[in-house]
Structure 1
Amino acid sequence: MVNLCDRGAVGVAIARTLGASSCQSVPREPMAQLRFLKVEGYQPVLEDGVFAGLTSLVSLILDSNGIHTISKGAFAGLGQLQELSLQNNKIETLPIGGLKPLISLRRLQLQNNQLGKLSFEALQGASSVVVMNLENNRIAEIENGALGQMSLLQVLNMRNNKLRTLDRLGFAGADSLSHLIVDANQVSMIQDGAFVALPSLKILDIHENPLQEISRSRTGLGLDTFVGGVKVNP
Structure 2
Amino acid sequence: MGGTLLLLLLVPLVAGGRTNTLLTETRETELHFPSSKSSWPCPEAESIAPCVCTKDDADEVIDMDCSDVQSDDELTRAFQAYFPFDRFRNLTISKDETEDRVPITTLTRATFNNASFVNIIVIHTNLAHIDLDAFNNSYPFLETIEISDNPLDIFPFDLLASCPYLAELKLDKNAITHMSNLNSQSLARLQITNSPRISFGTEVFYGVPNLQRIILKNLHLNYIPDGMFSQQEQLTYLDLTSNEIETLYNGSFHLGGPLEQLMLDSNKIFHIQSGAFGGLPQGLVMLMQYNSLTDLPQAVWEPVFKSIQGNDPTLRDLVSLRGNPIKCECNLQWLVQESTYLDLLTPNTACEDGTLLDDAADVILANC
- Cα deviation, 1:136-174, whole Å, max 9, x if unaligned, reads 110012122211221211111111101011123222344
Task: Note the 1:21-36 alignment, pairs <5 A.
Answer: 22-25=78-81, 29-30=86-87, 34-36=117-119
Range moving further from structure 2, 197-206 or 138-147: 197-206
Closer, same or farther: CA 173–162 of 1 in aligned 2, 3 Å: same
2:245 aligned residue (163, 167, 173): 163
CA separation of 1:226 and 1:140: change in aligned 2, threshold 3 A = same
* Counterpart residue number, 2:136: 52
Partner deviation per Cα, 1:172-202 (whole Å, 9 max, x = no partner): 3443322111111110111112212323561
1:88-120 CA distance string (max 9 Å, x none):
112232023xx31x3211111101112565533
Alignment correspondent of 1:111: 193
- In the alignment, is residue 138 of structure 1 matched against residue 220 of structure 2? yes
C-alpha contact 2:253 2:278 (8 A) present in aligned 1: no
Using the TM superposition, give the Cα deviation of residue 65 of structure 1 relative to its aligned residue in structure 2, in angstroms: 1.9
One-letter amino acid of the counterpart of residue 24, structure 1 = Q
CA distance in 1, matches of 2:164, 2:252: 28
Confirm or deny: 8 A CA contact 2:168 2:188 kept in the other structure.
Answer: yes
Paired-residue identity, %: 22
Distance 1:151 1:19 in 2: 37
Cα RMSD of the aligned pairs, angstroms, is 3.0
Select 2:276's aligned residue among 183, 191, 194: 194
Structure 2 residue matching 1:75: 3-state secondary structure:
helix
String of CA shifts for 1:25-77, please: whole Å, max 9, x gaps: 57585157632221232222333222212121212111112221123534352
Structure (1/2) with the larger strand percentage: 2
Quick one: structure 1 residues 118 and 165, their matched pair in 2 at CA, closer, same or farther if it must change by over 3 Å? farther
Give the letter for the 1:140 counterpart.
Answer: N
* Paired residue total: 219
1:8 match:
none
State the Cα distance separating 1:125 from its structure 2 match: 2.4
Distance 1:121 1:212, change over 3 A: same
Indicate whether 1:63 and 2:116 are aligned: no
1:226 maps to: 318
In structure 2, relative to structure 1, the CA distance for the partners of 1:60 and 1:42 (3 Å cut) is: same
Whole-Å separation in 1 of the counterparts to 2:277 and 2:133? 39
TM-score, normalization by structure 2: 0.53
Separation in 1, partners of 2:225, 2:200: 6
Partner residue in 2 for 1:210? 292
Larger Rg: 2
Taking the TM superposition and a 5 Å limit, the aligned residue runs for 1:65-144 are: 65-96=150-181, 99-100=182-183, 102-114=184-196, 119-144=201-226
1:10 corresponding residue in structure 2:
none
Which sections of structure 2, spanning at least 5 residues, go unmatched?
1-50, 54-62, 67-76, 89-114, 310-316, 327-331, 336-340, 342-368
Alignment partner, residue 177 of structure 1: 259
| Structure 2 residue aligned with 1:37 | 120
Q: Is contact 1:179–1:201 with CA below 8 Å preserved after alignment?
A: no
> Mind listing any 5+ residue stretches in structure 1 that lack a counterpart?
1-13
**Quick one: distance in 1 between partners of 2:257 and 2:304?**
13
> Partners of 1:86 and 1:165 in 2: how far apart?
26
Query: Matches of 1:106 and 1:199 in 2, distance apart?
Result: 20
- Indicate conservation of the 8 Å contact 1:115/1:139, yes or no: no
Question: 2:65 & 2:156 partners in 1: Cα distance?
Answer: 28
